Chain A
Amino acid sequence: DIVMTQSPDSLAVSLGERATINCKSSQSVLYNSNNKNYLAWYQQKPGQPPKLLIYWASTRESGVPDRFSGSGSGTDFTLTISSLQAEDVAVYYCQQYHTTPRTFGPGTKVDI
Protein backbone atom coordinates (compact mmCIF):
# COMPACT_ATOMS: atom_id res chain seq x y z
CA ASP A 1 0.00 0.00 0.00
CA ILE A 2 1.11 3.56 -0.63
CA VAL A 3 1.53 5.37 2.69
CA MET A 4 0.67 9.07 2.74
CA THR A 5 2.15 11.43 5.31
CA GLN A 6 1.38 15.09 5.91
CA SER A 7 3.12 17.92 7.71
CA PRO A 8 2.52 19.75 9.87
CA ASP A 9 -0.23 18.09 11.91
CA SER A 10 -1.72 21.51 12.52
CA LEU A 11 -0.92 25.15 11.89
CA ALA A 12 -2.28 28.53 12.86
CA VAL A 13 -2.15 31.32 10.30
CA SER A 14 -3.25 34.93 10.51
CA LEU A 15 -6.04 36.12 8.24
CA GLY A 16 -4.61 37.13 4.88
CA GLU A 17 -1.40 35.18 5.40
CA ARG A 18 -0.15 32.13 3.50
CA ALA A 19 -0.71 28.57 4.67
CA THR A 20 1.39 25.71 3.33
CA ILE A 21 0.69 22.01 3.82
CA ASN A 22 3.01 19.24 2.71
CA CYS A 23 2.14 15.71 1.63
CA LYS A 24 4.51 12.87 0.87
CA SER A 25 3.76 9.48 -0.66
CA SER A 26 5.83 6.36 -0.03
CA GLN A 27 5.85 5.62 -3.78
CA SER A 28 5.54 7.81 -6.84
CA VAL A 29 1.96 8.61 -7.87
CA LEU A 30 3.03 9.82 -11.30
CA TYR A 31 1.32 7.97 -14.14
CA ASN A 32 3.92 7.67 -16.88
CA SER A 33 1.35 7.13 -19.63
CA ASN A 34 -0.12 10.62 -19.26
CA ASN A 35 2.48 12.36 -17.05
CA LYS A 36 -0.19 13.12 -14.44
CA ASN A 37 0.22 12.88 -10.70
CA TYR A 38 -2.74 11.04 -9.22
CA LEU A 39 -2.94 13.14 -6.06
CA ALA A 40 -5.97 14.98 -4.72
CA TRP A 41 -6.53 17.47 -1.92
CA TYR A 42 -9.72 17.67 0.13
CA GLN A 43 -11.03 20.18 2.64
CA GLN A 44 -13.26 19.02 5.48
CA LYS A 45 -15.12 21.34 7.82
CA PRO A 46 -16.68 20.08 11.06
CA GLY A 47 -19.84 18.08 10.51
CA GLN A 48 -19.45 18.11 6.74
CA PRO A 49 -18.22 15.60 4.18
CA PRO A 50 -14.89 16.24 2.49
CA LYS A 51 -14.82 18.62 -0.47
CA LEU A 52 -12.53 18.07 -3.44
CA LEU A 53 -10.23 21.06 -3.95
CA ILE A 54 -7.44 19.87 -6.24
CA TYR A 55 -6.89 16.85 -8.48
CA TRP A 56 -3.95 15.80 -10.62
CA ALA A 57 -1.89 17.50 -7.89
CA SER A 58 -2.41 20.99 -9.30
CA THR A 59 -5.78 21.27 -11.10
CA ARG A 60 -8.40 23.18 -9.16
CA GLU A 61 -11.86 21.65 -9.05
CA SER A 62 -14.55 23.81 -10.59
CA GLY A 63 -15.69 26.56 -8.22
CA VAL A 64 -12.67 26.38 -5.91
CA PRO A 65 -11.22 29.84 -5.21
CA ASP A 66 -7.89 30.57 -6.86
CA ARG A 67 -6.23 31.22 -3.50
CA PHE A 68 -5.96 27.42 -3.29
CA SER A 69 -3.13 25.94 -5.34
CA GLY A 70 -1.38 22.60 -5.53
CA SER A 71 2.11 21.73 -6.66
CA GLY A 72 4.62 18.91 -6.66
CA SER A 73 5.36 15.72 -8.52
CA GLY A 74 6.33 12.14 -7.89
CA THR A 75 6.26 11.76 -4.13
CA ASP A 76 6.27 15.31 -2.74
CA PHE A 77 3.33 17.66 -2.90
CA THR A 78 2.18 20.96 -1.44
CA LEU A 79 -1.17 22.66 -0.93
CA THR A 80 -0.94 26.42 -0.57
CA ILE A 81 -3.64 28.82 0.58
CA SER A 82 -2.25 32.15 -0.57
CA SER A 83 -4.34 34.43 1.63
CA LEU A 84 -6.17 32.64 4.42
CA GLN A 85 -9.82 33.51 4.90
CA ALA A 86 -11.95 32.73 7.93
CA GLU A 87 -13.93 30.16 5.96
CA ASP A 88 -10.75 28.20 5.22
CA VAL A 89 -10.54 26.90 8.79
CA ALA A 90 -10.76 23.15 8.24
CA VAL A 91 -8.83 19.91 8.09
CA TYR A 92 -7.05 19.24 4.80
CA TYR A 93 -6.31 15.75 3.49
CA CYS A 94 -4.24 14.54 0.58
CA GLN A 95 -5.15 11.28 -1.16
CA GLN A 96 -3.44 9.23 -3.80
CA TYR A 97 -5.63 7.64 -6.45
CA HIS A 98 -2.79 6.06 -8.41
CA THR A 99 -3.18 2.66 -6.77
CA THR A 100 -5.80 0.70 -4.86
CA PRO A 101 -6.20 1.00 -1.91
CA ARG A 102 -6.77 4.71 -2.27
CA THR A 103 -4.94 5.98 0.77
CA PHE A 104 -5.38 9.28 2.57
CA GLY A 105 -2.92 11.32 4.54
CA PRO A 106 -3.66 11.78 8.26
CA GLY A 107 -4.85 15.35 7.77
CA THR A 108 -3.62 18.85 8.65
CA LYS A 109 -5.76 21.13 10.77
CA VAL A 110 -5.67 24.79 9.76
CA ASP A 111 -6.73 27.40 12.31
CA ILE A 112 -6.56 31.14 12.63
Chain B
Amino acid sequence: QVQLVQSGAEVKKPGASVKVSCKASGYTFTGYYMHWVRQAPGQGLEWMGWINPNNGDTRYAQKFQGRVTMTRDTSIRTAYMELSSLRSDDTAVYYCARDPPHHGADVWGQGTTVTVSS
Protein backbone atom coordinates (compact mmCIF):
# COMPACT_ATOMS: atom_id res chain seq x y z
CA GLN B 1 0.00 0.00 0.00
CA VAL B 2 0.98 3.63 -0.40
CA GLN B 3 3.02 4.66 2.62
CA LEU B 4 5.37 7.34 3.86
CA VAL B 5 7.63 6.34 6.76
CA GLN B 6 9.57 9.05 8.54
CA SER B 7 12.69 8.89 10.66
CA GLY B 8 12.58 8.86 14.42
CA ALA B 9 12.38 11.60 17.00
CA GLU B 10 15.27 14.01 17.41
CA VAL B 11 16.51 16.19 20.26
CA LYS B 12 18.76 19.05 19.23
CA LYS B 13 20.45 22.00 20.88
CA PRO B 14 19.77 25.55 19.75
CA GLY B 15 21.88 26.45 16.74
CA ALA B 16 22.16 22.87 15.51
CA SER B 17 20.63 21.33 12.38
CA VAL B 18 18.23 18.45 11.95
CA LYS B 19 17.60 16.27 8.91
CA VAL B 20 14.34 14.34 8.71
CA SER B 21 13.81 11.57 6.18
CA CYS B 22 10.63 10.35 4.52
CA LYS B 23 10.72 6.99 2.73
CA ALA B 24 8.02 6.35 0.16
CA SER B 25 6.61 3.01 -0.90
CA GLY B 26 3.72 1.69 -2.96
CA TYR B 27 3.74 4.33 -5.68
CA THR B 28 5.98 6.00 -8.24
CA PHE B 29 8.13 8.27 -6.06
CA THR B 30 9.00 10.67 -8.87
CA GLY B 31 5.38 11.11 -9.89
CA TYR B 32 4.21 13.24 -6.97
CA TYR B 33 5.46 16.37 -5.26
CA MET B 34 6.38 15.95 -1.61
CA HIS B 35 5.37 18.62 0.85
CA TRP B 36 6.65 19.29 4.35
CA VAL B 37 4.33 20.61 7.05
CA ARG B 38 5.06 21.21 10.71
CA GLN B 39 2.93 21.50 13.83
CA ALA B 40 4.15 23.09 17.04
CA PRO B 41 2.74 21.67 20.29
CA GLY B 42 -0.96 22.53 20.58
CA GLN B 43 -0.83 24.63 17.42
CA GLY B 44 -2.08 24.41 13.84
CA LEU B 45 -0.48 23.23 10.63
CA GLU B 46 2.28 25.25 8.98
CA TRP B 47 3.34 24.62 5.39
CA MET B 48 7.12 24.67 4.92
CA GLY B 49 7.64 23.87 1.26
CA TRP B 50 7.71 21.24 -1.44
CA ILE B 51 10.13 19.29 -3.56
CA ASN B 52 9.54 17.79 -6.96
CA PRO B 53 11.24 14.38 -6.64
CA ASN B 54 11.43 14.08 -10.43
CA ASN B 55 13.92 16.92 -10.91
CA GLY B 56 14.72 18.19 -7.43
CA ASP B 57 13.00 21.55 -7.88
CA THR B 58 12.01 23.12 -4.57
CA ARG B 59 9.84 25.91 -3.27
CA TYR B 60 10.04 27.11 0.31
CA ALA B 61 7.83 29.27 2.47
CA GLN B 62 9.39 32.70 2.89
CA LYS B 63 9.59 32.15 6.64
CA PHE B 64 12.06 29.28 6.19
CA GLN B 65 14.11 30.62 3.27
CA GLY B 66 17.81 30.30 4.05
CA ARG B 67 17.26 27.79 6.85
CA VAL B 68 15.51 24.88 5.13
CA THR B 69 16.79 22.54 2.45
CA MET B 70 14.66 19.85 0.84
CA THR B 71 16.37 17.10 -1.12
CA ARG B 72 15.64 13.63 -2.40
CA ASP B 73 17.40 10.41 -3.30
CA THR B 74 15.39 8.69 -6.01
CA SER B 75 17.47 5.51 -5.77
CA ILE B 76 16.04 4.84 -2.32
CA ARG B 77 12.73 6.67 -2.79
CA THR B 78 13.43 9.01 0.09
CA ALA B 79 12.84 12.71 0.61
CA TYR B 80 14.69 14.80 3.18
CA MET B 81 14.05 18.03 5.00
CA GLU B 82 16.96 19.73 6.75
CA LEU B 83 16.39 22.69 9.03
CA SER B 84 19.39 24.64 10.34
CA SER B 85 20.04 27.23 13.03
CA LEU B 86 17.42 25.60 15.21
CA ARG B 87 15.60 27.65 17.85
CA SER B 88 13.30 26.59 20.64
CA ASP B 89 10.29 27.61 18.57
CA ASP B 90 11.25 25.03 15.94
CA THR B 91 10.11 22.38 18.41
CA ALA B 92 7.33 20.66 16.49
CA VAL B 93 6.13 17.54 14.74
CA TYR B 94 7.33 17.56 11.14
CA TYR B 95 5.28 15.76 8.50
CA CYS B 96 5.96 14.83 4.90
CA ALA B 97 2.93 14.50 2.64
CA ARG B 98 2.39 13.31 -0.93
CA ASP B 99 0.63 15.79 -3.16
CA PRO B 100 -1.09 14.59 -6.33
CA PRO B 101 -1.61 17.38 -8.87
CA HIS B 102 -4.62 19.59 -8.14
CA HIS B 103 -5.69 17.38 -5.26
CA GLY B 104 -4.48 18.20 -1.79
CA ALA B 105 -2.11 16.05 0.26
CA ASP B 106 -3.56 12.55 0.24
CA VAL B 107 -0.91 10.51 2.06
CA TRP B 108 0.99 11.67 5.13
CA GLY B 109 3.93 10.33 7.06
CA GLN B 110 3.48 9.48 10.71
CA GLY B 111 5.35 12.60 11.80
CA THR B 112 8.78 13.19 13.36
CA THR B 113 9.04 15.02 16.66
CA VAL B 114 11.91 17.47 16.79
CA THR B 115 12.66 18.96 20.19
CA VAL B 116 15.03 21.90 20.44
CA SER B 117 16.30 22.40 23.97
CA SER B 118 19.50 23.44 25.68
Contacts and interface: CB of A to CB of B under 8 A. Distances in A.
Interface of A: 1, 34, 36, 38, 40, 42, 44, 49-52, 54-56, 61, 93, 95, 97, 100-107
A38 B102 contact: yes
Given A50-B97, A97-B102, 4 more contacts: A95-B47, A101-B49, A102-B47, A106-B44
B110 interface: yes
Given A49-B110, A49-B111, A104 B104 contact: no
B105 interface: yes
B12 to A, nearest CB: 22
25 contacts: A1-B62, A34-B102, A40-B103, A42-B105, A49-B95, A49-B111, A50-B37, A50-B95, A50-B105, A51-B108, A54-B104, A55-B102, A56-B103, A61-B104, A61-B106, A93-B44, A95-B45, A97-B103, A100-B50, A100-B59, A102-B35, A102-B47, A104-B37, A104-B44, A107-B45
Nearest to A38: B102
What 3 A-B pairs have minimum CB-CB distances, sorted nearest first? A40-B104, A49-B108, A55-B104
A106 B59 CA distance: 22
The dominant DSSP class at the A interface is loop
Contacts of A44: 45
Contacts of B16: none
Given A38-B102, A49-B95, A56-B102, A104 B46 contact: yes
B109 interface: yes
Given A50-B45, A107-B44, A101 B106 contact: no
A49 B93 CA distance: 9
Contacts of B111: 49
B9 interface: no
B11 interface: no
Contact of B104 (A1, A34, A52): A52
A100 B99 CA distance: 13
